[in-house]
């Protein structure tokens, strides 16, 4: 796998619980990807970016050496995946479906974002297992809200509500 395909950035002041949260951000727009990465870093997330769904699957070990993927990626520490819906080649919805089909990845929360507010699309993504569907442009309050989805894996609390803007 070509390491130049991914951008990984980590703000060292985010040690402890907040600093350990790792987000895979997927967006085909360079500007949107850099904007999202900056907001996530400002909220003390470790961030890895991918420019499309295929690159995200490569990072997660689902493409390439398919036979070795599950064994080698059990140590992969991604706490949340946030992906654009509209991307060439593979939509965010298709990426979501592939992630939810893999046993060692299906518990990772996936958030879909889009600039288009299409109720049937939103409903379809949520039914397929997306934690949330966010409308672009993403706000800092949206990024802060992501933390409740991540923590729900480690500290389940039934009925937890993520309040938005």
**pLDDT for the residue numbered 9:** 43
- CATH number for the 22-61+77-148 domain, one of 3.50.50.60, 3.40.50.2300, 3.40.640.10, 3.40.50.300? 3.40.50.2300
Q: Is pLDDT at 111 greater than 90 in this prediction? A: yes
Domain spans in the chain, listed from the N-terminal domain onward: 22-61+77-148
What are 26-77's pLDDT values in tens digits? 999 999 999 999 999 999 999 999 999 999 999 999 886 544 444 345 456 8
Q: Is pLDDT at 81 greater than 60 in this prediction? A: yes
Q: Please, are residues 84 and 51 in contact by the beta-carbon 8 Å criterion?
A: no
Q: pLDDT band at 148, cuts 50/70/90?
A: confident
Comparing 14 with 147, the larger pLDDT belongs to 147
Give me the chain's average pLDDT, please: 81
Neighbours of 13 (CB within 10 A): 9
Give the C-alpha separation, 114 to 105, whole Å.
23
- Matching residue, tokens 């992501």: 146
**pLDDT for the residue numbered 75:** 58
């Amino acid at each position: 796998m070509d390491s130049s395909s991914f951008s990984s950035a980590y703000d060292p002041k985010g040690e402890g619980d907040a600093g350990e949260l790792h987000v895979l951000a997927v967006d085909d727009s360079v500007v949107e990807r850099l904007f999202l990465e900056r907001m996530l870093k400002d909220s003390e997330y470790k961030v890895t970016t991918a420019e499309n769904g295929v690159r995200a699957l490569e990072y997660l070990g689902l493409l390439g050496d398919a036979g070795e993927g599950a064994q080698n990626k059990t140590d992969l520490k991604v706490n949340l995946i946030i992906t654009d819906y509209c991307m060439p080649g593979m939509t965010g919805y298709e990426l979501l479906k592939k992630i939810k089909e893999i046993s060692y990845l299906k518990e990772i929360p996936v958030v879909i974002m889009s600039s288009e507010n299409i109720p049937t699309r939103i409903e379809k993504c949520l039914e397929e297992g997306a934690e949330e569907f966010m409308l672009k442009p993403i706000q800092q309050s949206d990024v802060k809200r992501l933390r409740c989805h991540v923590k729900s894996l480690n500290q389940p609390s039934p009925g937890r509500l993520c309040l938005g803007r």
